[in-house]
Amino acid sequence: MSGMDLTNSVSYLCSTYGDSFADVYDDWYQQVTDVDGTANFIAGLSDGLEVLELGVGTGRLALPIARKGIPISGIDASPAMLKRLAIWDSQKLVRPYLADMSDWLPSGPYKVIFCAYNTFFNLVGQGDQEDCLKLVRDRLHPDGFFVLEAFVPSNYSQLPTRGVESRHLSNGAVFNITIREKISGVIRGQSVELDDSGVVLRPWRVRVRTPDELDQLASDLGFRLVERWQDWYRSPFSSSSDHHISVYASTNP
C-alpha cells in the first residue's frame, strides 16, 4: 500500500495529489467521467492534428484518444502517475512530459489542448490557473481550441465549510474529509483509507471556479468562449447543469 505515511508531514506540492492517488487511481476513478464521450469529442475537434492533455494522469482519457489515431501528448506533475501511464501504454502512443502545467508546456502547436475532470481546479497556487492559461494560449494552433471540463460549483460560497463522507471498499473504508477556505475558495481534502494493513492518507486540494469566473479569466487572457455544453454529447448547458464542457478559442489567433 502506498499513499502517504501517517508519520510524514509534507507540504502540498503540484505532484502531491498524483503521487498520493496513483496506486488507487485506476481502481477508484476509471468510470468517474465519460471516457468514450470525451475521446469522441476531442478526436472530432482535433481534425486528426496534435492534441495535448493537461494532467494526463494514468492515461484514462489520452489512451482511448491515441487509439483513434490522434497524435497526443500528455503533461503531468506526478512521476507516480506517469509511471502508471507507461505501464498501460506499452505501444508508446502517448508522448509523456513531467512538468507543472502552470510553469511549462511543450511547444506544440496543438490543435486541441484539453483539461478534463476538474483537473484545472488542481491548480491551487495564487495565479497558477492564470499562468497555465497563458501557456495554453501560446501553444495553441491559430485555429485551435482549449477544452475544459469541470463541475459547476454554483452557490459554492453557501456550501458548508466542513464535510465528511465515507464509502466502503471490499476490504476497508475510505473517509473523505473536506475543509473549504471561505475567502480563497480553496477546498482542502484528506482521503483516509482504513484497512487491515493500517491507514493511508491521500491529500488533495482544489481551487474551484464557476463558469462565469472561468469565462472572465479566459477573456482577460485573450480567449473567447466558442461552445458550452452540459456533457460530451453536446447536450445544452443550462443554469441547472452541474457540469460543463467549455470550448475556448483565441481572440487574437
Ligand X SMILES: C[S@@+](CC[C@H](N)C(=O)[O-])C[C@H]1O[C@@H](n2cnc3c(N)ncnc32)[C@H](O)[C@@H]1O
Q: Which residues bind ligand X (CB under 6 A)?
A: 14, 17-18, 55-57, 60-61, 75-78, 81, 100-102, 116-117, 119, 122-123
Q: Nearest approach, Cβ of 160 to ligand X (angstroms)?
A: 23
- Nearer CB in complex with ligand X: 157/184: 184
Q: Which three cell numbers stand for residue 28?
A: 477508484
| Cα–Cα distance measured from residue 240 to residue 154, given in angstroms and rounded to the nearest whole number | 9
Closer to ligand X by CB, 2 or 197: give it.
2
* Residue nearer to ligand X on the CB measure, 76 or 89: 76
Nearest of 20, 18, 99 to residue 52 by alpha carbon: 99
CB of 239 to ligand X, least distance (A): 26
Of 16, 127, 113, the closest CA to residue 73 belongs to 113
Separation of alpha carbons 133 and 198, rounded Å: 41
3-state secondary structure of 122: helix
Rounded to a whole number of angstroms, the minimum distance from the CB of residue 186 to ligand X is 14
Q: Cα–Cα distance between 206 and 64 in angstroms, integer?
A: 26
Angle, vertex CA 133, rays to CA 127 and CA 135, nearest 5:
105
Give me the least distance between CB of 146 and ligand X, in Å please.
Answer: 15
8 Å CB contact between 143 and 249: yes
Task: Provide the minimum distance between the beta carbon of 196 and ligand X in the complex, in angstroms, as a whole number.
Answer: 27
Report the nearest approach of ligand X to the CB of residue 124 (Å). 8
> Closer CB to ligand X, residue 52 or residue 221?
52
Closer of 30 and 235 to ligand X (Cβ): 30
Q: Strand order in 162-169's β-sheet?
A: 162-169, 172-180, 186-195, 198-207
The three cell numbers locating residue 33 = 467521467
Closest residue (Cβ) to ligand X? 18
Q: Which is nearer to ligand X, 77 or 112 (CB)?
A: 77
